């Protein structure tokens, strides 16, 4: 990849972080991107904090070795469990997905009551609840473990997925949170379900996509990385993308396209040694 434009390294345990990359391509087209999916070691949600932190730091160092000038931790579990460790180990600025999502929710809500849906690991960490409460908001977190496999199956508009989502959201908005006016998508798989969730969620609820919020946070810092000599012609050229995965590159191309919304043709296999 050309060194003339800054490389943003994007890290996830698998495919969901490609929704963050999709948002980045729309908001920060002046960058080059290196995406690392640790597909051989997912899911992170069933692993200990120490293990997640070790994996995430390894990924951060790998992306830095590829020339990344900023790291985006496009994984809610890694952000929730290991952001401090990643920031300490990295030599470049690091942006996670939790704080941008919480900040966007604080702007969107009128009555200061927010529901967060996410994976079991993210909800158990209470990272979103803490970030929202720090902003003076009331927060209800709801784990929705069936949604990720349904998305990866491609069932984003299936009646089964809609029924499951209705059950989860009915529980999330019960017991004093029926009037919560904002819902945060605390998992990077969930943007693919946004049309379905819009139908299922109460009509008065605003939906905050943490992938979009993270891209906006990156955009606000990106200009600082641009070299003074960067030409307008260079900035207008299409972003260059490079993909790395620790498991099947064929599967990454096939499944990743659903999340990115673009064909993925060249993926390099990486074996990060334990």
| Positions marked catalytic | 75, 187
Half-sphere exposure of 265 (CA within 13 A, CB side): 2
Helix (H, G, I), strand (E, B) or coil at 85: helix
In the block, tokens 């508009």 appear at 157
Tokens found for residue 254: 């096939």
φ/ψ bin of 67: left (φ > 0), alpha (ψ from -120 to 50), beta (otherwise): left
Tokens found for residue 274: 């334990």
All residues at 6 or more sequence positions from 176 whose CB lies less than 8 Å from its CB, including other chains: none
Are the C-beta atoms of 208 and 184 separated by less than 8 Å? Answer: yes
Are the C-beta atoms of 70 and 17 separated by less than 8 Å? Answer: no
The secondary structure of 202-269 as a DSSP string is -TTPEEEEHHHHHHHHHHHHHGGGS-TT--HHHHHSPPPEEEEESS-HHHHHHHHHHHHSS----EEE
- Sheet containing 94-96: give its strands across: 94-96, 68-73, 7-12, 32-37, 241-245, 267-269
CA distances, 179 to each of 171, 173, 174, 176, 190 (Å): 13, 7, 9, 7, 22
């Amino acid at each position: 990849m050309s060194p003339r434009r800054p490389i943003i390294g994007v890290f996830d345990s698998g495919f969901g972080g490609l929704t963050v990359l999709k948002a980045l391509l729309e908001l920060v087209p002046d960058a080059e991107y290196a995406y690392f999916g640790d597909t051989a070691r997912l899911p992170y949600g069933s692993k200990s904090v120490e293990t997640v932190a070790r994996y995430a730091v390894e990924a951060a160092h790998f992306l830095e070795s590829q020339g990344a000038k900023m790291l985006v931790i496009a994984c809610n579990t890694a952000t929730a469990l290991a952001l401090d460790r990643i920031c300490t180990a990295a030599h470049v600025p690091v942006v996670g997905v939790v704080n941008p999502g919480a900040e966007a929710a604080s702007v969107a809500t009128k009555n200061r009551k927010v529901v967060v849906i996410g994976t079991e690991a993210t909800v158990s960490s209470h990272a979103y609840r803490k970030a929202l409460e720090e902003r003076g908001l009331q927060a209800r977190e709801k784990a929705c473990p069936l949604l990720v496999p349904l998305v990866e199956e491609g069932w984003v508009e299936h009646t089964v997925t809609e029924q499951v989502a209705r059950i989860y959201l009915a529980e999330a908005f019960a017991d004093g949170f029926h009037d919560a006016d904002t819902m945060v998508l605390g998992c990077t798989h969930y943007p693919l379900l946004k049309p379905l969730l819009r139908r299922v969620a109460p009509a008065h609820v605003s939906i905050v996509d943490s992938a979009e919020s993270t891209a906006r946070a990156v955009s606000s810092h990106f200009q600082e990385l641009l070299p003074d000599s960067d030409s307008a012609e260079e900035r207008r050229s299409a972003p260059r993308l490079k993909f790395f995965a620790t498991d099947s590159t064929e599967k990454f191309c096939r499944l990743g396209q659903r999340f990115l919304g673009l064909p993925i043709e060249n993926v390099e296999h990486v074996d990060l040694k334990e």
